[in-house]
Structure 1
Amino acid sequence: MAEDMKHKGVKKLLGKLTLLALPFILWPLVEVFVLPMNFFTFRIWETISVNSMRVMPGPFYPNVHMQMEEEGELAPRTPFARKRQVEWYTDPYGYRNRDTKNDVLLIGDSNITGAKLSQEETLAEVLEQHLGRDVYSFAPATVNRFLATDRFEENPPELVIVSSIERRIPELPAVGDNSLGSKVRNMTGKLISSSPFLTNLTVKADRISKLSLYRRTLAEIDRAMGRKAYISYHNEFFMEGEYANRTYPEEELDRIADVLEGYRDALQARGMHFVFLPIPNKENIYYQLLPNQKEPTFLPQLLRRLDARGVAYVDLQPAFRELYQQQQVQLYPVDDAHWNEVAVKVAAQLLTRHSTVAQLKATPYEAEEHLLVNYKEE
């Protein structure tokens, strides 16, 4: 009798624990199978980015077409957020492209992907219009990921443009770093992308792992308690503030230049041209808004070293400075640290004028009007 009572007590306890846990078990399934994918997110990036299933071929869910009113990453769901309607397409490999053709390949970070930009405003699509050649956005990704991806061995690009936002340049990995991880990702990615069933299963599992309601609730609690994750001066929001314009030691500048020279050599050995595209920080171009008004020196010092090594690059800083300081042209969203559509147009024009890039134009190179005009009105 006592034993039966004990078993009944255990069953009741388990039943109560199951009922208690049931909402937490079922809710992620409701998020995935009932609610719209972007129900709890503030931009498409978080909605379709791969969270935990790092075996997929790309950084985003494949074959997605989505439109959404987005907010900037620095102050989402606050009175400071600036809303903007954007449209995204991803290709079968989970990169932000309409197709997979790649005469020119762009490797880079979220600026190349096009955070808070609509599809037609991304650098890949704008540059494609300038060149009349197919431009493929391989971002966010690294040179090592590119070198480990079989499909580019079978169909290599003629030109590879490697880009990075200024603050991330010191983190660029040397050729060969984490190459094993890139090769493993290539193999698992090929397997998953070869099967619609595996692709759908992996995406569903990844969406469940995101726990979007939980993450949004934590963010709301942080905001309610006054914990701000942004830096603001003169009604502009920054990622790093004054720290972004710090001084780098000589040996660090030499190391970074060596990494970029290694990219050039590795790509040239495979018959591809190479151009480096550093994107200035918002703090770089808007440095006069910061309390110390310290003018950054990192990019000029680095580019002098690349000159000495014969590494091709496109310098955006002088054009960006002139546009902002002399014509008051905004090159970054108020609530975001990524470049805006005007900055992308300037970058595309400067890239097209570079001799290595210009030779790929589908039509003979024609002189364009000076790029530093007519942007104030756009």
Structure 2
Amino acid sequence: MTVPLSRQVGRLRVLIVVDVATTIAAALFMLGIYLMVLPDPHLLALTGLVALSGVAMACGLAPLERGDVRGAVVWWAAANWAIALVTATVATFAWPIPMLAALLPAVLATATATGRELVLYVVTSLMVCTAAILLGVLQDVTGLSAVTPPGLQSTILVLFTPPLVAMVGLILLQNSLRLQAALDTSLRVTNELIEQTEELRRSRARVVAATDRERRRIERDLHDGAQQRLISIGMGLAAATSMCRTDPRSAIAELDALRRQLHVAHDEVRSLAQGVYPPVLSEHGLVEALRSAVDRYPLPLTLDLGAVGRYPRDIEAAVYFSCVEALQNAAKHAQPTRVRLAIGTDQQTVWFEVRDDGVGFDGAVPNRASGIVNMRDRLGASGGDLRVDSAPGHGTLVRGTVPVPDRVSGRGGPPPRGSA
């Protein structure tokens, strides 16, 4: 999980301010010791260097104000490493304090850096930490540790070790909480992806089953309708051919009847083809196709059709057949007195609404009616969504949206207020 920049800047600002305050307090404390207890020039030099390191840490606040987290961390880390080495060299008895100061950048870098940059921070911190321990244990070049009273040494360690330990612990706690939040988010996203994958699998299975049912319906309609009629026309033509030699008048009458049957067969095939993909949809687009589809709608219908332009074939088909399905559902089940159909565009989506004033149903109960499932699958295949709002006695609103690319042609816009 990526921490928002503002939150990251805020946390780092607090840490730098606390570290600067601790460093300046240490410098003031050492200055007081120099003036009242131990007037050693090495202690005065160390006091000045500690104060300079605090100023260097404070310089990290300037890039932080610009949102430059990386620059702020570099300033702060360099100051901590420098003061750790200087303190361990001059005041060897205080080596636990520079050891902790050297580790601070590595702990913080786990939340602010990645890759090679993180490795560089960790390796440098470990090297400086090791050097601080070795300098504190193996040498006393300045002799400051030898002349500092043991009680004063213990007091310095007791005063300044806990704040550094607290800063290390605080950073580790924040990183742990951040990691836990990232893991929780990842788990939630994974579960959502699993659910979406399962729904996609079920949707594909339904699409396959619906395709098989549609293919069987077309085969049945062709076999029982147009095919039988064409066979009958073929037999009639054979009979008319025979009658042409013996009874021309009857043959002419038979041919007239066959021509009428041929027109009927033509109408049946055309109707069947329109159920698969209406020619008016491919030729003239959604608005004209829907006007044609509702020409014989059995209920009072208000049309509110915006200038939606042209879109890819799959998107137009998804919207068209979903609208037709919603209108058919309203006519079959809702018992309405009026139905309203509206389509339009909204930025990068095409939307439609079918509203009726019928009996409605409990919208809080998941509805798995085949019509709603079919619409949801159609729209989902194009990346769209379907929402059904209903309540007993208050009608039903079916609203679908489909994201669209740039229009093929035409201009879209909000639907007009009037009805067509």
Structure number with the bigger relative contact order (C-alpha 8 A, sep ≥ 6) is 1
Under a length normalisation based on structure 1, what TM-score does the superposition of the two structures give?
0.17
Compare the two structures and name the one with the higher helix fraction: 2
Structure number with greater Rg is 2
